[in-house]
Structure 1
Amino acid sequence: MNQDWRGVVIRRLLLVVAGCLLLGLITGEYGWALAAGLGAYLGWTLWQLLRLQHWLKNHQPDEPPPHSYGLWGEVFDSIYHLQRRDQRARGRLQAVIDRIQESTAALKDAVIMLDADGNLEWWNRAAETLLGLKTPQDSGQPVTNLVRHPRFKEYFEQNNHADPLELPSPVNDRRRLQFHITHYGNGEHLMLVRDVTRVHQLEQMRKDFVANVSHELRTPLTVIAGYLETLLDNVDEVNPRWRRALEQMQQQGERMQTLLNDLLLLAKLEATDYPSDNQPVAVAELLQTIKADAQALSGARGHRIELDAAPGMRLKGSEAELRSAFSNLVFNAVKYTPDGGEIRIRWWGDEQGAHLAVQDSGIGIEARHIPRLTERFYRVDSSRASHTGGTGLGLAIVKHVLLRHRGRLDITSQLGQGSTFTCHFPVSQRVRTDQDA
């Protein structure tokens, strides 16, 4: 092992040359003797090389190397030890891979590995149950050919997969699945699919309960409000002590009706994933009317409301739903901005899609409240919300409208410096015209 093989080779060559010269001295043919000796040495070397090539090509994993001596024996042994070491390393790696595959196969959640182009590479048994994948027929197939849902195609092709996607199972429409995609390696995708049917059913029960209760309360509340209005119209015939009580009852009745209307609107928004009246909406004109309503709401409070809207850019969706969402943002800015404050509405587009920003110079919101602002009935300041007549459902409605239009809401705010609510819509929702700015 520790011998100087270069010196050994040189010594052997010198011995061969010396033997050839000795043979030439005996025979008198120095040239032929030297050529014959060197040719024999070269032939022996080539023969050893051929043995090595044959062993590397045809040997079994545990087959020892050919027997030899000297330098070639050392070469054979070294290659054999390297192969044995690599075999042990491959065995350990294969054992790890087998354990990983066994553990993922035991999961109830589906695990699917996709290449950079979205083609199926590997999946566990749960994927066959939840998605109907078949081994080995579906290997190498694009996942969008097997999960044929427009929303899944949009979700897979977008760059942001921070939020999961819920869809019916392609195998059973009564089963609800949650898809979550993670990027790894050189653009590959790891897709996790979970059965959330039970959670979806409980959520649907809650939605149905709220919708049914809201609908049932609407009729008696309308009757009560009607009688209160009649009594107040004839207040002179009523005992003066009841005037203040009737006015408060009417005020709270109107607030209850507003709350029920918001709950029913939320139930309607949650009933479907996409608006039925999906048409290009002239957002600039819509914002003009919302601005006029905001000016009327501001009244004597003297707010400065500015509108900067790209005139030719339209948005695919429901005009009624977009009006509800945008007006909620603008009216909130009016309610929570001090008298004489400034409100700026901006509508623009770029290569990432379409955007609406509502910026105010109001009192601002603490950072700890921002993640929960779109929750139902969440109020930063309950006394303030009660004073302004808020129901705590406005931003929840905005969130659901944006979800139905493939959009998202970003909120930035600083105490004492105001807030900015920005709606982002993808390029697929934007409608370009010749006047598009």
Structure 2
Amino acid sequence: MNQDWRGAVIRRLLLLLAGCLLVGLISGEYAWSLVVGLAAYLGWTLAQLLRLHTWLKRHQADEPPPDGYGLWGEVFDNIYHLQRRDQRVRGRLQAVIDRVQESTAALNDAVIMLDSDGNLEWWNRAAETLLGLKTPQDSGQPVTNLIRHPTFKDYFEQNNHSEPLELPSPINDRLRLQFHITQYGNREHLMLVRDITRLHQLEQMRKDFVANVSHELRTPLTVISGYLETLLDNVDDINPRWLRALQQMQQQGGRMQNLLNDLLLLAKLEATDYPSDNQPVAVDLLLLSIKSDAQALSSERHHRISLEADASLKLKGSETELRSAFSNLIFNAVKYTPDEGEIRIRWWGDEQGAHLSVQDSGLGIEAKHLPRLTERFYRVDSSRASNTGGTGLGLAIVKHVLLRHRARLDISSVLGKGSTFTCHFPSTQVVKR
């Protein structure tokens, strides 16, 4: 209240007291005059307070407060101005909300808002097209009741949503959708769903093309390799000038055969999401066998290869696929570690799951190459890769095998000191003896 109104209130109280005293002077009852006067003022104040209470309890939206005068008139006026200001603010906020809803409604991608428990709060029209959501009957329903794929439930319940999830649409198997979830506010969720059917078809065409070409090339390559082997077995009957050419042809034919085998293995790994032969694998014995092969590969280079494996930990999965992944990591360490270098293989477990690390004392890898090492045909140094006879698919195979076993690969390296490749398997894949 400003200074003028304070003075006005004080003047009214003084006038009231003066009137009461005047009545007391006339009637001779000063005390009763003051009591009656103050009681009347108190009654009027309570009546105004009752009017305010009634208005607050029963008023409709945007209904102005009751009229008044004096102190209560100022109170009602201030309430009216606050009400008008709130209406303007609400109008601006509603305009912003309307624009946001209009813009999201125009998107081809689905936008779904979920509460902290995963219940549907709001969605745009694209969500109805892609996911089959219905307004208003699906409002408040758990999203896992409407998207019943088990993989989606696992993805939604986990805390890490950095990687998107790809699944077929729950209403049309021919549509391929990509789900991405972001948490905000009080553990609420914003889910974006994109139609990637075209991209999925292109990717599938690429996979089919690579698999078919690789398969078709095996037969002519086998024939060529067979004749080359026959010619080399009878090299005494051939002009000596052809010997080096035949040997190089056989060597390149072997490299091409390895490349086709790796491509076919990748195509097989991509064909399904989870190994069919899901049995507990004795990783310690598997690593012992791979270590023996690595020592044979090292041969005269005299690498120091050590193995530390927890025999009590088994791993659910495909032994063939795990052998392929682990041998790729260990054989790479042998190929890229200088003579008499050290290679340490370790298999252990903790509360997070089980882990395999392959550490070498090689040349190391620059940090800029680490994010792309698992890409197909990616070469850190093409000349070095050619010397080792690699196909450029080894780490891509490792990545796909680990994905099929719900694991991930971490790579750390320091130039001049070596590299460490670590496979992390979740506890759900681990079996203890």
Q: Normalization by structure 2: what TM-score?
A: 0.96
* Superposition map of 1:5-404 within 5 A: 5-404=5-404
Deviation digits for residues 258-280 of structure 1, max 9, x if unmatched? 11100000000111111111222
- Identify which range, 307-316 or 21-30, moves more after superposition: 21-30
TM-superposed deviation, 1:10: 3.6
Deviation digits for residues 348-393 of structure 1, max 9, x if unmatched? 2223222211111101111222221111111111111111110001
Structure 2 gap ranges (5+): none
Against the structure 1 CA distance between its residues 359 and 143, is the aligned structure 2 distance closer, same or farther, given a 3 Å change threshold? Answer: same
Deviation digits for residues 118-147 of structure 1, max 9, x if unmatched? 222211111111111122222222222221
Amino acid at match of 1:109: D
TM-superposed deviation, 1:324: 0.6
CA–CA distance in 2 between the matches of 1:106 and 1:352?
A: 44
User: How many residues were matched structurally?
Assistant: 433
Task: Tell me the equivalent position of 1:430.
Answer: 430
SS in 2 for 1:348: strand
TM-superposed deviation, 1:302: 0.9
Deviation digits for residues 252-309 of structure 1, max 9, x if unmatched? 1111111110000000011111111122222222111111111111111111111222
TM-superposed deviation, 1:342: 0.7
SS in 2 for 1:356: strand
Amino acid at match of 2:27: T
Amino acid at match of 1:14: L
Amino acid at match of 2:265: L
CA–CA distance in 2 between the matches of 1:184 and 1:108?
A: 23
TM-superposed deviation, 1:64: 3.6
SS in 2 for 1:134: coil
- Identify which range, 14-23 or 251-260, moves more after superposition: 14-23
CA contact (8 A) 2:163 2:180 kept: yes
TM-superposed deviation, 1:417: 1.1
CA–CA distance in 2 between the matches of 1:63 and 1:192?
A: 41
Amino acid at match of 2:100: I
SS in 1 for 2:3: coil
CA–CA distance in 1 between the matches of 2:11 and 2:95?
A: 48
CA–CA distance in 2 between the matches of 1:302 and 1:273?
A: 40
CA contact (8 A) 2:62 2:83 kept: no
Deviation digits for residues 74-124 of structure 1, max 9, x if unmatched? 100001000110111011111101111111111000111122222222111
CA–CA distance in 2 between the matches of 1:285 and 1:170?
A: 43
TM-superposed deviation, 1:44: 0.6
TM-superposed deviation, 1:4: 4.3
RMSD: 1.6
Amino acid at match of 1:119: N
CA–CA distance in 2 between the matches of 1:318 and 1:173?
A: 29
Against the structure 1 CA distance between its residues 111 and 288, is the aligned structure 2 distance closer, same or farther, given a 3 Å change threshold? Answer: same
- Identify which range, 18-27 or 89-98, moves more after superposition: 18-27
Amino acid at match of 2:343: I
CA–CA distance in 1 between the matches of 2:105 and 2:26?
A: 79
SS in 1 for 2:178: strand
CA–CA distance in 1 between the matches of 2:173 and 2:116?
A: 29
- Identify which range, 326-335 or 119-128, moves more after superposition: 119-128
- Identify which range, 273-282 or 327-336, moves more after superposition: 273-282
SS in 2 for 1:420: strand
- Identify which range, 207-216 or 221-230, moves more after superposition: 221-230
Deviation digits for residues 192-236 of structure 1, max 9, x if unmatched? 110000011011111101100110110111111111112222222
Amino acid at match of 1:388: T
TM-superposed deviation, 1:32: 2.7
Identity rate, percent = 83
TM-superposed deviation, 1:60: 4.3
SS in 2 for 1:345: strand
CA contact (8 A) 2:316 2:430 kept: yes
SS in 1 for 2:308: strand
Against the structure 1 CA distance between its residues 61 and 136, is the aligned structure 2 distance closer, same or farther, given a 3 Å change threshold? Answer: closer
TM-superposed deviation, 1:62: 4.7
- Identify which range, 212-221 or 150-159, moves more after superposition: 150-159
Structure 1 gap ranges (5+): none
SS in 1 for 2:141: coil
